[in-house]
Chains A and B, each alone.
Chain A
Amino acid sequence: MNNFKANYKKLPPEFNIFLVLLGLALLFEILGWIFIGQSFVANKRRLIIMILQVSVIGIIAVGVTQVIIMAGIDLSGGSLVALSAIVAASLAQNSSYTKAVYPHLTDLPYIIPVLAGVACGLFAGFLSGNIIARTGIPPFIATLGMLVSARGASTWYNNGMPVSFLNDDFIALGQGVWPVVIFLSVAALFHILMRYTKYGKHTYAIGSNEEAARVAGINITRHKIIVYSIAGGLAGLAGVVTAARAMSAQAGMGMMYELDAIAAAVIGGTSLFGGRGRIAGTLFGVLILGVITSGFVFLRIDAYYQEMVKGAIIVGAVVVDQIRYKKKNTKDKDI
């Protein structure tokens, strides 16, 4: 028994989440055979669609994870997807289309709309970061403001009209396995940044004890601005991928994506109290959301049931986090 405990402790912390993922897949597999007479897992197409669907959420979730580890929160992800998508799309239009947003700026190399989209998110994150770090307004409020404003800005940008007729090289970024490749690259990069660099260490330190980080000489203001800017930039990248995948952009895109991204982080073991969490966990969190969505579609259950179950899982993950946090704190007290 002790031996089992020791071995269990050696496993990466994501092991539990991985078990949940396997359990869900197994559940859908069994239900599939019972109700539909089909396998859930043994369907390559379904798995590919599933991972494609969650890639955009995944890119946002990576940015949100580092924000939550820093004991912050970012609610603006979904709106930034819309704003960045529409800005990127407006610079990726085809010259054959006569009603382009910028008739003189058509057929640009695809890197320009991509950078514009990312920069757009980055700038929004930079604004939120400054407001949070310099005024002390809670991140919840500051990024809620950004959620509303960015959604408004994406409607204002093209008078609420969708932007389409995009160039092929831009569209290619959203096709095939590209969204997955982009998501996994982003996740790998940030896994490394969070674990092996000063950036990651300071992010964990601020989330764990901001005052301690401050007296240790870390420039909290600067660090917070960088972290929120990066979260915004990643939401911008997610917007670019969304526009490329949909081959057009409109102001209603990415609605509620921020909640799925936060859910993925929390399900993946990132603590809302800050200081704890890993990008690898978020990866599994994203996959769990994907399995739920595609499992419900597979079983032909109405979408609102899916939302209800998702909501329950998120609350469950937060409850687990609370219990862990309380345990840790009562332990501190009897020192």
Chain B
Amino acid sequence: MKEIDKKIILKTEGLSKHYGGVKALDNADFTLQNGEHIAIVGDNGAGKSTFIRQITGVEIPTSGKIYFDGNLVNFKTPSDAKNAGIEAVYQNLALADDLDVPSNIFLGQEETYFNLGPFSFLNAKKMYDKSIEVLSKTGIKIPDINIAMSNMSGGQRQCVAISRSAGFASKLIIMDEPTAALGVQETEQVENIIKNLKDRGIPLIMISHNLRQVFDLVDKIWVFRQGKIVGSVDASTTNSNEVVSLITGIQQKVGEEASFI
């Protein structure tokens, strides 16, 4: 990027990831405006999660460039991406099941009393209070946050994972299928958190299979198919038929109801 567009928070050029012979992600050109909420949709195995893992430093791309917040970046580890202001909720809930809620929310970014490197003493009180605060915004009810995550329901776990990211995200938040395993009420709670992020002006990338949700929540829809980005459409001007055609690569008949899980 020669002249950096201030409005663009994230841009990828020719981003690819190959696992052996499998081109899981192939030449992805992607842009995200500041404040924008977008959804990534596509069939299973389309490369959506792979795309996310390249941006968040969980994996290192085979080739291609990533620009974040105006700079060419080369994240080597997830903490590089975190330090740059990117927070992510991964598909396979990245929670430590034996730890309690505050420990999970603050994992890797603990509040401490004085800095003694790894031997810093934890400020448990502060982490407890802050956890209560971020969780209250989600509307989720967790009677006792000082018990291990393994004792909690799917919705409670997901809200903890999302609260963690939403609490720390400064520049970009990414969610990989945040409501895939949730019931109706729990899904609503997660959607509330997302709307709240929109109000705060924090850009979001969300992977979802739920087209109703996608149309409800985001500005723009990016469609992946077999490792490639096959289109991006404005949520306000497109319809589910068009999106489904892009996902499957098969033209829908006019008038036929789109059916896609």
- Complex: A201 Cα to B112 Cα, angstroms: 12
Inter-subunit contact B122/A208 (CB<8 Å): no
**Which parts of A189-236 form the interface with B (CB within 8 Å)?**
193, 196-199, 201-202, 204-205, 207-209, 211-219, 223, 226
By a beta-carbon cutoff of 8 Å, the part of chain B in contact with chain A is 56, 58, 77-79, 82-83, 88, 90, 92-99, 103, 107-110, 112, 116, 118-122, 124, 150-151, 153-154, 157, 181
Known contacts A204-B96, A209-B97, A276-B98; decide if A218 and B108 are in contact (CB<8 Å): yes
Known contacts A209-B95, A217-B79; decide if A331 and B109 are in contact (CB<8 Å): no
Inter-subunit contact A205/B103 (CB<8 Å): yes
- Complex: A328 Cα to B149 Cα, angstroms: 11
Enumerate chain A residues within 8 angstroms of B90, measured Cβ to Cβ: 215
Inter-subunit contact B94/A216 (CB<8 Å): yes
Inter-subunit contact B150/A215 (CB<8 Å): no
- Complex: A207 Cα to B96 Cα, angstroms: 8
Chain B facing A: main interface SS: loop
Inter-subunit contact A335/B157 (CB<8 Å): yes
Inter-subunit contact A332/B96 (CB<8 Å): no
> Does A113 belong to the interface (CB within 8 Å)?
no
Interface size class of A (residues with CB under 8 A): 20 to 34
- Complex: A196 Cα to B116 Cα, angstroms: 12
Inter-subunit contact B97/A275 (CB<8 Å): yes
- Complex: A198 Cα to B115 Cα, angstroms: 10
- Nearest CB of A to B147, in Å: 10
Enumerate chain B residues within 8 angstroms of A219, measured Cβ to Cβ: 77, 79
Task: Kindly identify which residue among B107, B120, B122 contacts A216, using a CB–CB cutoff of 8 Å.
Answer: B107
A-B pairs with beta carbons under 8 Å apart, 29 shown: A193-B119, A196-B121, A196-B124, A197-B116, A197-B118, A197-B119, A197-B122, A198-B110, A198-B112, A198-B118, A198-B120, A201-B99, A204-B99, A205-B96, A205-B103, A208-B97, A208-B98, A208-B99, A212-B93, A212-B95, A214-B58, A214-B77, A215-B90, A216-B94, A218-B107, A275-B96, A275-B98, A328-B97, A335-B153
By a beta-carbon cutoff of 8 Å, the part of chain A in contact with chain B is 193, 196-199, 201-202, 204-205, 207-209, 211-219, 223, 226, 275-276, 328, 331-332, 335
Enumerate chain B residues within 8 angstroms of A223, measured Cβ to Cβ: 118
Inter-subunit contact B94/A212 (CB<8 Å): yes
- Complex: A213 Cα to B104 Cα, angstroms: 9
Enumerate chain B residues within 8 angstroms of A216, measured Cβ to Cβ: 78, 94, 107-109
Enumerate chain B residues within 8 angstroms of A196, measured Cβ to Cβ: 121-122, 124
Known contacts A201-B110, A215-B78, A219-B79; decide if A207 and B98 are in contact (CB<8 Å): yes
Look across to chain B and name the residue whose beta carbon is closest to the beta carbon of A331: B150
- Nearest CB of B to A41, in Å: 36
Enumerate chain B residues within 8 angstroms of A204, measured Cβ to Cβ: 96, 98-99, 103
* CB-based closest 8 A-B pairs: A217-B79, A216-B108, A275-B98, A217-B108, A208-B96, A212-B94, A208-B98, A216-B107
Inter-subunit contact A212/B98 (CB<8 Å): no
Enumerate chain A residues within 8 angstroms of B120, measured Cβ to Cβ: 197-198
Enumerate chain B residues within 8 angstroms of A218, measured Cβ to Cβ: 79, 107-108
Known contacts A198-B110, A199-B118, A335-B157; decide if A214 and B78 are in contact (CB<8 Å): yes
Task: Kindly identify which residue among A198, A212, A328 contacts B119, using a CB–CB cutoff of 8 Å.
Answer: A198
Q: What would 5 more interface pairs be, CB under 8 Å, given A196-B124, A213-B107, A217-B82?
A: A196-B122, A198-B110, A198-B120, A198-B122, A201-B103
Known contacts A217-B79, A275-B97, A335-B153; decide if A205 and B107 are in contact (CB<8 Å): yes
- Complex: A193 Cα to B121 Cα, angstroms: 8
Look across to chain A and name the residue whose beta carbon is closest to the beta carbon of B157: A335
Of A197, A204, A328, most B-chain CB atoms within 10 Å? A197
- Complex: A201 Cα to B120 Cα, angstroms: 11
- Nearest CB of A to B159, in Å: 13
- Complex: A316 Cα to B151 Cα, angstroms: 25
- Complex: A276 Cα to B109 Cα, angstroms: 21
- Complex: A278 Cα to B103 Cα, angstroms: 17
- Nearest CB of B to A118, in Å: 17
Look across to chain B and name the residue whose beta carbon is closest to the beta carbon of A203: B118
Look across to chain A and name the residue whose beta carbon is closest to the beta carbon of B120: A198
Task: Kindly identify which residue among A193, A202, A213, A328 contacts B150, using a CB–CB cutoff of 8 Å.
Answer: A328
Enumerate chain A residues within 8 angstroms of B121, measured Cβ to Cβ: 196-197
Enumerate chain B residues within 8 angstroms of A208, measured Cβ to Cβ: 96-99
Inter-subunit contact A209/B103 (CB<8 Å): no
Look across to chain A and name the residue whose beta carbon is closest to the beta carbon of B80: A217
- Nearest CB of A to B231, in Å: 29
- Complex: A215 Cα to B103 Cα, angstroms: 14
- Complex: A208 Cα to B157 Cα, angstroms: 15
Look across to chain A and name the residue whose beta carbon is closest to the beta carbon of B93: A212
- Complex: A218 Cα to B181 Cα, angstroms: 27
Inter-subunit contact A212/B96 (CB<8 Å): yes
Inter-subunit contact A201/B95 (CB<8 Å): no
